Amino acid sequence: MIAIPAIDLREGACVQLVGGSYADERVRVKDPLEALKRWRAHGFKHFHVVDLDAALGKGSNEDAIRALLTHEPGLTFSVGGGVRSTVKVESLLMLGATSVVVGTRAIEDAEWLREVAERFPGQIVVAADVKGREVVTRGWTASSSRDIVSVLESLEPLPLAGLLVTAVHKEGQMEGVDLPLMETVVRTSRHPLSASGGVTTLEDLRALGGVGASGAVIGMALYTGRLDAAEVAREFA
């Protein structure tokens, strides 16, 4: 399993929020490249970039994304946040994204998801943001009225790069992961799982690997020092 530092972008800065709430920002790094350089120094090679402003229709962090993706060759970036058109997917891939993460429209528009997955096979990651067991959309503000198993079953035929499943109820709280949720995802889907939400300890990472997750996105615990980046990198980078 691979540990993947999160680089969440807001107003051009790298931030960490609790539960996705703009009102509860706990970490701010003015220059996202400084965050990237910090994690690279420990040996991390895989990164997850999210444009929070685009996800909520509050703006764009395209300049910051471009700077991250062109900083150093050989790194792997999954990039998402407000990706709701084929043009946007293509643009991010052309900028250098290894894979593009699609969430809201992917959940709400099955035909579009099929078209974009077939046009870019092996380059699309579907984000399923889960609160309890219900999938939520639009920056975690809207209910899809669908449970995670139903969504996963609908994704099985598609040529996806993988899944990004976030336990919204755990996000940013540093209280551990929702292991039963992630275990359900692995049992239900053939697609590789990157797990997100609540990763706090090395034991959390080992447990996620134990249930079959292929990656784990880490945010708050790394940025606050709750997790020792050097130790994580030695075992999971």
Identity (one letter) of the amino acid at 210?
G
Q: What is the DSSP code (8-state) at residue 107?
A: H
The one catalytic residue in 51, 53, 129, 178 is 129
Total residue length of the chain = 237
Q: State the sign of the Cα–Cα–Cα–Cα dihedral 210, 215, 217, 222.
A: positive
Q: How far apart are CA 218 and CA 209, in angstroms?
A: 14
8 is catalytic: yes
Assign residue 232 a region: left if phi > 0, alpha if psi is -120 to 50, beta otherwise? alpha
Residue with tokens 């784990």: 216
Contact 135, 144 (CB under 8 A): yes
Q: Which two tokens stand for residue 198?
A: 């609540």
147 is catalytic: no
Sequence-separated (6 or more) residues with CB below 8 Å from residue 45 = 74, 75, 76, 237
List residues with catalytic annotation: 8, 129
